[in-house]
Structure 1
Amino acid sequence: MSFAMKSLLSLCLSGVLLLGAGPAATAQRATASPYHTRFAVDGPIILGLGAINATGLYLVQQKSGLSEAESAALDRNDIPKFDRFAAGRYSDRAQLVSDITCYGSLVVAPGLLALNPGVRGKYGQVLGLYVETMAITAALFTMTVGTVYRYRPFLYGPEGGTKRTSKISTNSFFAGHTGHTATATFFAAKVFHDFNPDSPAQPFVWGAAALVPAVVAYSRMEAGKHFLSDNIVGYAIGATAGIVVPQLHKSARRTGYSFTPIQGLNVNGHSYGGLLLAKQL
């Protein structure tokens, strides 16, 4: 797959999200946000996740790399068979592709949401949700990488130079580039979906959201940075965070569920109290 093709795929999300900026989306400018957020709740959550990230980064810095002798002693036969095909791969070009696609998606995916009329009026809220969502993925990533030693695929080949003895050579699990890209693209697709539930662009938006992190995952394997299993875990974590966090913030008006405190007297004169769960049909 050429560099131009991969770059084109990374722009797919851009094009399909812009489809929502047509007449159908224009009619939704006055639509209320489907989400309910509270600074008193979400603010401390973000700060707590930031503290977890800092702890994870500290643990990463405390890791040690392999010596040249230890690196030379690695045996690809010790790798599970479904991951073994990636052992020994190395490509600076593929790493560049993965970097550009990943870091670009972190800015482009949420940025494009501001171009959608349905989202624009609530963009501050959406941006806050995006920060919280990315913080969850980052916290899971840094804590995992900081505590798990798994050697990168390129160590099982002759290339890598000084990277072979660097502490980053033990950071194979899980794939952070893939995880963060999936978080960004699936978050954008989920928000677009919630603000534009009747948009004909829905299949294309979700398709692009799934494709871009897959390109990153492929590039990371070609670069010798991650095995297939590392990418599968990263993809799953990122996609889950990107969808679940906005869903958990859906307002009762949009989900159809509401909780109401109730109290009173029954026919026998006894008092009662509790919560009434209602579902809008």
Structure 2
Amino acid sequence: MKFLSSLLLSGALLTSAAPVATAQKAASSPYQTRFAVDGPVILGLGAVSGFGLYRVQQKHGLTTAEAAALNKNDIPKFDRFSAGRYSDRAQLVGDLTCYGSLVVAPGLLALDPAVRGKYGQVLALYVETMLVTDALFTTSVGNITRYRPYLYGTEGGNKRTSKIATNSFFAGHTAHTATATFFAAKVFHDFNPDSPAQPFVWGAAAVVPAVVAYSRIEAGKHFLSDNIVGYAVGATAGIVIPQLHKSARRTGYSFTPIQGLNVNGYSYGGLLMTKQL
């Protein structure tokens, strides 16, 4: 909970900027979104996610005998330490932290006056970013069979023969949490590039999904490598998708009149052409 408190502290710091400055920022957005482009992208990502879920439903779980025959020595050494772990308490902690972050992280952005005037745009961008992660996640678990760590122990009850016991790669809770927190940090950064709260915001964004990853290992739901991939996917989506929508990337060429004297004392004039990269 102290990590969520850190995130809430970061949210409180969002409101600490000078009123005049934030009022000016609220009138503009660093992002450019278009319904004609982003609408179809969102629908397409939703379709990919839906097909991934369909593939998950077509998978089959292990029989009791097959689960009993699993050998932890078949697991790569760097993942082997978590084989056989199981904890309902750790699963609950991970669930609460993950699902809470999906609401809290974008919700804190509403506290920032610089974001509030463009919050509808930010929410649409959040949905698109989250769907990128979800499409990658459902496609992965729908087509890759990797047994969860708890299958290499004796606990889990009816879960041991469930089809979801084959969905270890990659860690969805970690990926979605990282998407939410890094998205919030990226948006805050772009709206408030000079804010002294930046270290708190980015620090909270990094810590919260790490807590979820740890809880998923302790719960026996995912191996370390599953969480590393999930963290990387989520953090990348949370940062890259907003960056691709930055308005500065779409301004193209600009021309500025210039004049002056060269080193020989001759005057010159013309146009300076620049290109936003």
TM-score under structure 1 length normalisation: 0.89
**Does the Cα contact within 8 Å between 1:144 and 1:173 map onto a contact in 2?**
yes
DSSP-derived class of the 2:70 partner: coil
Query: d(CA) in 2 for partners of 1:161 and 1:234?
Result: 26
Query: d(CA) in 2 for partners of 1:80 and 1:192?
Result: 39
Q: Which residue of 1 aligns with 2:123?
A: 127
The code of the aligned residue for 2:183 comes to F
Q: Which residue of 1 aligns with 2:259?
A: none
The code of the aligned residue for 2:13 comes to L
Match of 1:30 among 9, 24, 32: 24
Query: d(CA) in 2 for partners of 1:10 and 1:20?
Result: 15
Q: Which residue of 2 aligns with 1:168?
A: 164
Would you say 1:259 and 2:245 are equivalent positions?
no
Q: Which residue of 2 aligns with 1:270?
A: none
The code of the aligned residue for 1:17 comes to G
Would you say 1:114 and 2:110 are equivalent positions?
yes
Would you say 1:54 and 2:47 are equivalent positions?
no
Shift of 1:261: 10
Query: d(CA) in 1 for partners of 2:134 and 2:189?
Result: 24
Shift of 1:24: 3.2
For structure 2, the residue ranges without an aligned partner over 5 or more in a row are: 256-272
Shift of 1:14: 1.8
CA RMSD of aligned residues (A): 1.7
The code of the aligned residue for 2:110 comes to A
For structure 1, the residue ranges without an aligned partner over 5 or more in a row are: 1-6, 263-275
Q: Which residue of 2 aligns with 1:235?
A: 231
Shift of 1:11: 3.1
| Structure 1 range deviating more: 22-31 or 137-146 | 22-31
Query: d(CA) in 1 for partners of 2:97 and 2:5?
Result: 9
Would you say 1:278 and 2:272 are equivalent positions?
no
Q: Which residue of 2 aligns with 1:4?
A: none
Q: Which residue of 2 aligns with 1:178?
A: 174
Query: d(CA) in 2 for partners of 1:79 and 1:26?
Result: 58
Query: d(CA) in 1 for partners of 2:245 and 2:19?
Result: 22
The code of the aligned residue for 1:278 comes to K
**Does the Cα contact within 8 Å between 1:25 and 1:118 map onto a contact in 2?**
no
Q: Which residue of 1 aligns with 2:268?
A: none
**Does the Cα contact within 8 Å between 1:29 and 1:121 map onto a contact in 2?**
no
DSSP-derived class of the 2:104 partner: helix
Q: How many residues align?
A: 258
Q: Which residue of 2 aligns with 1:145?
A: 141
Query: d(CA) in 2 for partners of 1:205 and 1:23?
Result: 14
Q: Which residue of 1 aligns with 2:132?
A: 136
**Does the Cα contact within 8 Å between 1:65 and 1:170 map onto a contact in 2?**
yes
TM-score under structure 2 length normalisation: 0.90
The code of the aligned residue for 2:116 comes to R
Query: d(CA) in 2 for partners of 1:23 and 1:105?
Result: 24
Match of 1:8 among 2, 11, 18: 2
> Sequence identity, in percent?
73
**Does the Cα contact within 8 Å between 2:177 and 2:208 map onto a contact in 1?**
yes
After superposition, give the CA deviation of every residue in 1:31-70 in whole Å (9 maximum; x if it has no partner).
2100011010000000000000110000000000000000
